[in-house]
């Protein structure tokens, strides 16, 4: 069997490595190969714990152990990360993953695929330089997937804009800034040699996001001179869109952004790109071709898609909801500041070890202890029985 992988970002490159190293004849086709894709480049513990080579290598990257969270009316809180965030430039990360695919034996071609055409039980892929035949296709062409009949059919409601600047300079911490009336946030991610300063937001025109980001940068003394502007789309599926998400069909499976697999609250997509590539490769290796569509769908759902679907229902409540008369991001920062129990939950959210499905139960179970800790932090400790604080 010959498998063609369309797109050589993290999802395509990782799938190519997996398949080629299992002995499958694999061709990866990307119009740019390694490039500085607009991205923060942050990998959570969940990603490098599952795929340790992302941490243990000699490629340029930053390992960041401190994050400052800020929200209107809550001020800032500095969280020392138990599990650091690993940050790459996307050129380095893509190049690294493509090198691994190459070493595993995948054939790599730099050209744009202009059309996919079914030819018998296989495919004819059209490029400017002629056509390529394949028995099966993995579609890994990202959020701006130009191949209309395969991959998630993203509507404007299923995306958010993400834009920012690569700013010369250095920092030892990550900054996350929540803003009033924005389903999204601003980030400052230090990378090797520069910083990625960006904003993402759903339902807001890109020009307004840019204005809010530039205002923030001026306030923070982050200079735009010498900085490079970037912008891109981020899949952010509405909850009903998960139900009919087109992740696979006859003779193809989609992975990463082309399958809409991004966390609708945090915008994390790198882990899901690699994980879906892993699951799609396993499906191809273990299932008969006619069963891949259903098998991949099931595997995705069981592994993380059901959790992301719940995330899409929580997103509105997180960014626009109120808790105890305050905005949820502000309450989150206040609780993190005052309650060690809540802080432990935040650590797990940052590292990716706390999923959304288990979050509600954990918050409810710990609410009692957190509230007592918060009261204690205001000097009401004599009202609080010691065993409650300990709990």
> Where on the chain is the footprint of ligand FAD (CB under 6 A)?
6-12, 29-32, 37-42, 112-113, 140-142, 146, 162, 198, 232, 234, 256-258, 262, 267-271, 273
Residue with the closest Cβ to ligand FAD?
A: 269
Give the residue with the Cβ less far from ligand FAD, 86 or 299. Answer: 86
- Smallest gap, in angstroms, from Cβ of residue 30 to ligand FAD? 4
Bridge partners (DSSP) of residue 130 are 127
Neighbours of 177 (CB within 10 A): 22
Give the residue with the Cβ less far from ligand FAD, 260 or 376. Answer: 260
Count how many Cα atoms sit within 13 Å of the Cα of residue 287 in the half-sphere of its side chain.
20
- Smallest gap, in angstroms, from Cβ of residue 43 to ligand FAD? 6
Give the residue with the Cβ less far from ligand FAD, 273 or 300. Answer: 273
- Smallest gap, in angstroms, from Cβ of residue 268 to ligand FAD? 4
- From 168, 136, 141, 179, select the one nearest 293 (Cα to Cα): 136
- Smallest gap, in angstroms, from Cβ of residue 265 to ligand FAD? 12
Distances (CA, A) of 355 to 114, 239, 311, 330, 351: 38, 16, 9, 21, 10
Rg (CA), the chain: 22
Give the residue with the Cβ less far from ligand FAD, 110 or 360. Answer: 110
- Smallest gap, in angstroms, from Cβ of residue 304 to ligand FAD? 13
* Beta-strand pair 174-177/184-190: antiparallel
Give the residue with the Cβ less far from ligand FAD, 241 or 330. Answer: 241
In the 8-state DSSP scheme, what is residue 234? E
Give the residue with the Cβ less far from ligand FAD, 190 or 376. Answer: 190
- Smallest gap, in angstroms, from Cβ of residue 189 to ligand FAD? 6
Helix or strand (DSSP H, E) at 294? helix 292-300
In the 8-state DSSP scheme, what is residue 380? I
Kindly report the backbone phi and psi dihedral angles of residue 216, in degrees, each rounded to the nearest multiple of 5, phi listed first: -60, -45
């Amino acid at each position: 069997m010959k498998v063609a992988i369309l797109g050589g970002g993290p999802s395509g490159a990782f799938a190519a490595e997996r398949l080629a190293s299992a002995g499958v004849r694999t061709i990866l086709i990307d119009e740019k190969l390694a490039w500085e894709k607009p991205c923060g480049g942050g990998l959570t513990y969940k990603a490098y714990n599952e795929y340790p080579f992302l941490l243990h290598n000699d490629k340029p990257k930053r390992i960041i152990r401190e994050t400052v969270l800020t929200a209107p009316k809550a001020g800032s809180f500095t969280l020392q990360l138990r599990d650091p965030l690993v940050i790459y430039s996307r050129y380095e990360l893509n190049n690294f993953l493509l090198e691994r695919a190459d070493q595993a034996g995948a054939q790599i071609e730099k050209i744009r695929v202009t059309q996919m055409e079914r030819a018998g039980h296989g495919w004819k892929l059209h490029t400017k330089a002629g056509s390529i035949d394949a028995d099966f296709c993995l579609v890994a062409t990202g959020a701006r997937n130009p191949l209309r009949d395969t991959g998630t059919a993203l509507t404007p409601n299923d995306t958010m804009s993400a834009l920012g600047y690569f700013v010369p300079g250095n920092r030892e911490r990550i900054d996350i800034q929540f803003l009033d009336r924005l389903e999204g946030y601003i980030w400052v991610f230090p990378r090797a040699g520069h910083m990625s300063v960006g904003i993402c937001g759903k339902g807001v025109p890109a020009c307004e996001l840019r204005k809010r980001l530039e205002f923030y940068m001026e306030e923070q003394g982050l200079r735009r001179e010498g900085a490079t502007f970037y912008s891109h789309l981020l899949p952010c599926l509405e909850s009903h869109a998960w139900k009919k998400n087109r992740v696979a069909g006859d003779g193809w499976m989609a992975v990463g952004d082309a399958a809409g697999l991004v966390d609708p609250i945090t915008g994390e997509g790198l882990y899901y790109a690699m994980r879906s590539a892993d699951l799609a490769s396993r499906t191809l290796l273990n299932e008969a071709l006619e069963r891949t569509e259903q098998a991949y769908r099931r595997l995705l759902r069981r592994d993380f898609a059901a959790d992301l679907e719940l995330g899409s229902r929580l997103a509105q409540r997180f960014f626009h909801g109120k808790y105890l008369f305050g905005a949820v991001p502000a309450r989150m920062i206040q609780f993190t500041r005052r309650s060690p129990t809540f802080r432990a939950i935040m650590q797990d959210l940052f590292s990716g070890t706390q999923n959304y499905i288990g979050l509600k139960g954990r918050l409810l179970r710990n609410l009692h202890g957190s509230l007592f800790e918060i009261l204690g932090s205001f000097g009401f400790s004599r009202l609080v029985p010691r065993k409650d604080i300990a709990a």
